Amino acid sequence: MITGPARRDESPVLFLGSLSPADKVVIVYLTVLAALVTVSYSRISFWWAIALAHAAVIALITVGSRVAHRSPRARAWRFIRAWYPIVLIGITFKELTLLIPLIHPRDFDWELARIDYWMFGTHPTVWLEQFTWPVLTELFQISYTAYYFLPLILAALLWSKGWLERFHFFAFVVVLGFYLSYLGYIAVPAIGPRFILASEQSFPLTGVFSFRFIRETLDRAEGITRDCFPSGHTELTLLVLYYASRFHRRAFWLMLPAGSALIISTVYLRYHYVIDVLAGAALALIVILIAPSLYRALRPAH
């Protein structure tokens, strides 16, 4: 289904009149988060609004999957249905900024920092100070932003070449990877070593031109979301690189330098503990192992 050479004329996968595997992952995640919010009603006065909003989105996905192919603008509907799960990832991330401290009001930074210290005999972000150089910091901060583009780039390449089977499978993998990491953030909230270990660092990071602008822009866009464990940056980058190597080898070689620098930057820039990176890599491996069989199980029979 997915392992053969890609061709523009491979059978189109439109999931008309039925839920796609990506749809089902989105619905499960929204249901789980709504359930967690409902259980935490004593700390979330607006829990009912969140639950209703999630129910409305689930209803929209379900109804949309059944009526899209009947629309006079079916082509536009098909595009929306194919791409909305990836777009929704950013929206669902933003609500975590508000919900994580209410669902699980305890941070685990010192536990994660102690694991790092136990593994290395020092705090890795402090140890890395000896290699800190403004030009390197600048390059790593730029590489760090590739996280927001690499999945979109590979998805767009697959779509533009008409490799719909591969596109839908990759969209499913991306959605599954992101939402598993989101559940990890809820289970183990942490804000990261750049806050907790600030007093241990000898000096703040500085760049050359755009470092401060990029960091402040990301801080404003993301907020303090307690999104350290596992490292979604590591997990999704590894997933993109793996499937790029399978589906679009030229894209893989072009993405590899930025992806490698991105993973290193997570610790160098003091965003993540090393244990976060290891957990993100382990989660990527789990997704790679289970994705094909899970996709087949969730794919509607026609």
pLDDT at 17: 63
DSSP state of 302: -
How far apart are the C-alpha atoms of 238 and 154, rounded to whole Å?
13
Task: Identify the sign of the CA torsion 216, 217, 219, 220.
Answer: positive
pTM: 0.93
Q: What is the mean pLDDT of the chain?
A: 92
Q: Would you say 267 and 274 are in contact if contact means Cβ atoms under 8 Å apart?
A: yes
For 129, the token pair is: 């100070």
Cα 37 to Cα 30, 71, 93, 186: the distances in Å are 10, 35, 15, 11
pLDDT score for 8: 46
**Burial letters 129-162, b for 16+ CB under 10 A, else e:** eeebeeebbbbbbbbbbbbeebbebbbebbbebe
Which residues touch 41 (CB under 8 Å, ≥6 apart)? Answer: 47, 48
Q: Tokens for 125, please give them.
A: 């972000």
Contacts with 161 (C-beta within 8 Å, 6 or more apart), sequence order: 6, 8
Identify which has the larger pLDDT, 73 or 75: 75
What pLDDT is attached to residue 79?
Answer: 87
Per-residue model confidence as pLDDT tens digits over 109-133: 999 999 999 999 999 999 999 999 9
Considering only residues 76 and 54, tell me which one the structure prediction assigns the higher pLDDT: 54
* CA–CA dist 116, 157 (Å, integer): 38
